[in-house]
Amino acid sequence: MLRAVATLKSAAPYSQSKCHFTPHEPGETEDAYRQRTWREHLHVMEDGEVFIPPMAFKNALVEMCRFAGESVPGKGKATWTKHFDAGLQIVDEIRTGVKAADVLPERLFLPSDGRRGGGKRVLKLYPVIRRWSGTLIMYLIDETLCDEKGLAKVEDFLRRAGVFIGIGRWRPRVGGINGRWSVESFEVDDKIDGMGV
């Protein structure tokens, strides 16, 4: 098993849309509720810093594999997807360096039912982080990802996912432009025994 460490930097705004169950206040309208609770869509550490869930990047990498459909050299028509899906683990969140209290909302008129092309539109607010950076730690537990070609593909797909897949609300994978990133550095540690969890 190897550990790959990548330093990432935002290449576009990043918007979170975490589901929340904050109750309505007595007599509160839907519009007033959305304006009061928009920060509840953020993922926040106990110290108030916004974090990016680890599965956001894992899902982006697997989506990139599916989208690319590239075969693993020497394995016939087998693609990289199953190796990334089962053999790459991300267990640590990325701390963005942004405090939830400093985040501002984006006001949008969107379908009330959340479906593209929906009839009735209402004002919705979502938090937008204009810039972030952080360290992504990936544990490679599939031997196919640990050789020279595999490591090169991990870095390649991470870079491409930052352009074509993205993370968060209105990312490229769903027709948007948010949630893109660039890879500032990519390094691999020696073999390790565990994932520190």
Phi first, then psi: what are they for 101, rounded to 5°? -65, -20
pLDDT tops 80 at residue 194: no
- Work out the average pLDDT over 132-147: 96
pLDDT tops 80 at residue 83: yes
pLDDT tops 60 at residue 196: no
Lowest mean pLDDT among 14-23, 123-132, 185-194: 185-194
Predicted local distance difference test score (pLDDT) of residue 177: 97
Predicted local distance difference test score (pLDDT) of residue 86: 97
Phi first, then psi: what are they for 192, rounded to 5°? -125, 160
The three-class DSSP label of residue 183 is strand
**Cβ atoms within 10 A of the Cβ of 4, count?**
21
Phi first, then psi: what are they for 108, rounded to 5°? -135, 145
* pTM of the full structure: 0.91
Model confidence at 117, pLDDT cuts 50, 70, 90, reads: confident
CATH class of 2-188: alpha beta
User: Which has more pLDDT, 119 or 62?
Assistant: 62
Percent of all residues in the chain with a pLDDT value above 70, rounded to a whole number: 95
State the Cα–Cα distance between residues 85 and 81, nearest whole angstrom.
Answer: 6
Locate tokens 């009061």: which residue? 36
